[in-house]
């Protein structure tokens, strides 16, 4: 029988304080679930994310802002979540250092838009 033991979304392990941390929690078929920790990192000024899959993201701790190319900037606080459709160009313009930002992101083809 497989040993089932819990992991904790808030545990950092051996994280380097100034580095962004990305940890793939689960990947199965078309779905990828990631834990992301940001400590003041932003998307470089000239770059935009243009992802192939939809992304549902929730900010668990910290504060952040995401700029969308065609619809302006959204401020996020703990508990806020949003669905970013595939190919919706966006970039992160702010993440708090203290408290750090812990995100949970789910990537895939999401049929029921929130």
Q: What is the CATH number of the domain that holds 102?
A: 2.60.120.10
- Is residue 26 domain-resident? yes
Q: Is the pLDDT of residue 21 over 90?
A: no
| pTM for the whole structure | 0.86
Q: Is the pLDDT of residue 16 over 60?
A: no
Task: State how far the Cα of 19 lies from the Cα of 82, in Å rounded to an integer.
Answer: 24
Residue with tokens 């545990």: 11
- Is residue 64 domain-resident? yes
Name the band, by pLDDT with cuts 50, 70 and 90, for residue 11: confident
- Is residue 1 domain-resident? no
Burial class of residue 37 in the structure, from the number of CB atoms within 10 Å of its CB (0-12 exposed, 13-18 middle, 19+ buried): buried
- Is residue 70 domain-resident? yes
* 12-21, 29-38, 101-110: segment of lowest average pLDDT: 12-21
Q: Is the pLDDT of residue 67 over 90?
A: yes
Rounded mean pLDDT of the chain? 90
Domain that holds residue 57: 21-108
Instruction: Tell me how many domains the chain contains.
Output: 1
- Is residue 4 domain-resident? no
């Amino acid at each position: 029988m497989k040993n089932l033991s819990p992991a904790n979304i808030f545990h950092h392990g051996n994280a380097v304080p100034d580095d962004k941390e990305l940890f793939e929690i689960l990947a199965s078929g078309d779905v990828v679930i990631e834990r992301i920790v940001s400590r003041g990192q932003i998307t470089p000024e000239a770059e935009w994310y243009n992802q192939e899959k939809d992304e549902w993201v929730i900010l668990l701790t910290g504060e952040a802002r995401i700029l969308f190319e065609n619809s302006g900037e959204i401020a996020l606080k703990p508990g806020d979540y949003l669905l970013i459709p595939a190919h919706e160009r966006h970039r992160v313009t702010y993440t708090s250092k203290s408290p750090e930002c812990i995100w949970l992101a789910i990537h895939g083809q999401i049929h029921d838009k929130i």
